[in-house]
């Protein structure tokens, strides 16, 4: 392994890692704003076609547990590249589906195949940098993901009237193929040395138990899980929100959610450096509170421009919390169990993503404003709880 104090690893492999991670989030966030249009295309209800989101997220979250464990045995690089190849093939096939059921199935399979890319990228950062130096590279990597989120959520719904939704998937597959080619060129395909111990399900479960057996691990994963529920629940249904409350068309929806992902893209590295210097605690609390207030404002009768600003602030809330939780996770697993620790992190996050979209969809039966208020209140409760439970992160992260 290269010297973690050197910037060489970051310079040589960061670009393909960031590109792949960004594309994973691009396609994940591209599809939710298209729910109203896809419901019309396939002649099904919005709730029915909305299953494409949890199908992908839940499959992604469950399968990533195994990617993390396998990578601890067989190396991050090979798992990352195989997973990216699966993403390329399945994303291309998605463009050929002819029904809502087929689309849901392909989203599930893509979640299974693609779930090794992001956690292996994050685990590689954990391998290469000391805990006190991970803020900047993690911030940059999350900035790439946020850029993918911002571009996917906006560009997808704005381009669809001109290109069609199928071309969006084909273009994503082609760009991912380019990312894989760059990865192989810079990182190689040759496997890293690894232990020959056989993979044991008992050892895998035992590893997860040990990660959750002490308070810091348990509380971190619980906050990650809720973060996934909250942000996916809000984001998945933003297209429906702007249609119902403001009667916007596809291009107008894209403009309204333009700010989603931009704060992390522009300020991800700055947030990471601030956490390295001042500790994670105040930044996480600010992010949780900001998201709660912004979500509550969406339930009010506000101008569409104010609603668009609130969406940007919700995204900022994610940017101020999730990268910092990921930083904590890299410290939980160390170098020997880093892949498994990060796998559990992505499991908690993406399982939350899947459940959040389902839960908010069910709450829509009570009314859109009521669903927003319920989510905002629970987020406020988590902010209060975090103020008590996460105080130790200020000291730990600045050591």
Token pair for 186: 């810079």
Report which of residues 376 and 209 the model is more confident about: 376
Instruction: Report pLDDT for 383.
Output: 97
Confidence of residue 199 (pLDDT cuts 50, 70, 90): low
Domain 9-188 has CATH 1.20.1250.20: yes
pLDDT of residue 332: 82
Q: Using an 8 Å Cβ cutoff, are 153 and 263 in contact?
A: no
Least confident range from 105-119, 128-142, 143-157: namely: 128-142
Weakest-pLDDT range from 46-55, 104-113, 116-125, 151-160? 116-125
Overall average pLDDT of the 199-224 stretch? 84
The verdict on domain 198-398 having CATH code 1.20.1250.20 is yes
State yes or no: pLDDT of 78 exceeds 60: yes
Question: What's the pLDDT score for residue 189?
Answer: 59
H or E element: which one contains 143?
helix 135-163
Q: 169 vs 22, 27, 131, 236, 268, CA distance in Å? A: 14, 8, 37, 18, 27
Give the pLDDT score at 15: 77
Q: At 8, is the pLDDT very low, low, confident or very high (cuts 50, 70, 90)?
A: very low
Q: How far apart are CA 324 and CA 139, in angstroms?
A: 9
Q: Which residue has the tokens 């209060």?
A: 384
Mean pLDDT of 337-350: 79
Percent above pLDDT 90 for the chain: 43
143-147, 199-203, 289-293, 354-358: the lowest-pLDDT one? 199-203
pLDDT band at 49 (very low <50, low <70, confident <90, very high): very high
pLDDT of amino acid 327: 84
The DSSP string of 215-242 is HHHHHHHHHHHHHHHHHHHHHHTHHHHH
Rounded Cα distance, 178 and 200, in Å: 35
User: Which range, 124-128, 253-257, 367-371, 388-392, is most confident?
Assistant: 367-371
- Average pLDDT of the chain is 84
With a cut of 60, say whether residue 218 has pLDDT above it: yes
The DSSP-derived string for 103-134 is: HHHHHHHHHHHHTTHHHHHHHHHHHHS-GGG-
- The domain ranges of the chain are 9-188, 198-398
Lowest mean pLDDT among 5-14, 199-208, 325-334: 5-14
Q: How far is CA 157 from CA 19, 25, 45, 49, 282, in A?
A: 21, 15, 18, 16, 35
Q: How many Å separate Cα 33 from the centre of its chain?
A: 16
With cut-offs at 50, 70 and 90, classify the pLDDT of residue 289: very high
Please state the φ and ψ torsions of residue 170, each to the nearest 5 degrees: -65, -45
Instruction: Tell me: pLDDT of 295 over 60.
Output: yes
Contact 280, 324 (CB under 8 A): yes
Q: Which residue has the higher pLDDT, 61 or 285?
A: 285
Over residues 243-261, mean pLDDT: 89
What tokens appear for 80 in the block? 């990352």
**pLDDT higher than 60, residue 60:** yes
Residue 16 has pLDDT above 50, yes or no: yes
CA dihedral 51, 57, 60, 63 (to 10 degrees): -80
Q: What is the pLDDT of residue 355?
A: 94
Confidence check: pLDDT of 367 > 90 = yes
What proportion of the chain, given as a percentage, has pLDDT over 70? 87
| Secondary structure letter of residue 280 according to DSSP | S
In sequence order, what are the residues at sequence separation of 6 or more whose Cβ sits closer than 8 angstroms to the Cβ of residue 200?
A: none
What pTM was computed for the model? 0.79
């Amino acid at each position: 392994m290269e010297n973690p104090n050197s910037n060489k690893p970051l310079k040589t492999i960061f670009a393909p890692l960031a590109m792949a991670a960004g594309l994973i989030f691009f396609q994940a966030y591209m599809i939710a704003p298209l729910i109203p249009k896809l419901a019309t295309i396939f002649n099904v209800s919005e709730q029915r076609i909305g299953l494409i989101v949890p199908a992908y997220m839940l499959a992604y979250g469950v399968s990533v547990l195994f990617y993390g464990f396998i990578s601890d045995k067989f190396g991050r690089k090979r798992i990352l590249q195989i997973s990216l190849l699966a993403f390329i093939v399945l994303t291309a096939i998605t463009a050929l589906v002819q029904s809502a059921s087929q689309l849901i199935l392909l989203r599930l399979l893509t979640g299974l195949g693609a779930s090794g890319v992001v956690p292996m990228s994050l685990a590689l950062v954990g391998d290469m940098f000391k805990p006190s130096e991970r803020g900047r590279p993690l911030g940059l990597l999350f900035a790439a993901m946020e850029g993918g989120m911002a571009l996917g959520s906006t560009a997808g719904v704005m381009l669809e009237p001109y290109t069609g939704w199928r071309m969006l998937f084909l273009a994503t597959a082609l760009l991912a193929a380019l990312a894989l080619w760059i990865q192989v060129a810079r990182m190689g395909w040759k496997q890293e040395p690894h232990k020959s111990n056989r993979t044991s399900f008992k050892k895998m479960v035992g590893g997860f138990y040990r990660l959750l057996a002490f308070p810091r691990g348990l509380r971190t994963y619980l906050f990650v899980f809720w973060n996934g529920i909250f942000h996916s629940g809000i984001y998945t249904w933003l297209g429906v929100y702007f249609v119902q409350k403001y009667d916007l068309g596809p291009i107008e929806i894209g403009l309204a959610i333009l700010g989603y992902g931009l704060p992390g893209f522009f300020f991800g590295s700055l947030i990471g450096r601030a956490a390295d210097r001042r500790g994670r605690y105040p930044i996480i609390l600010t992010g949780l509170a900001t998201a709660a207030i912004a979500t509550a404002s969406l339930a009010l009768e506000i101008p569409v421009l104010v609603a668009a600003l609130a969406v940007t602030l919700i995204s900022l809330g994610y940017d101020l919390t999730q990268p910092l939780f990921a930083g904590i996770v890299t410290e939980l697993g160390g170098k020997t169990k880093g892949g498994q620790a990060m796998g559990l992190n992505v499991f908690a996050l993406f399982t939350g993503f899947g459940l959040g979209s389902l839960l908010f969809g069910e709450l829509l039966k009570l009314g859109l404003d009521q669903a927003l208020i319920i989510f905002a209140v629970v987020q406020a409760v988590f902010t209060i709880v975090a103020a008590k439970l996460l105080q130790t992160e200020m000291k730990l992260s600045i050591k």
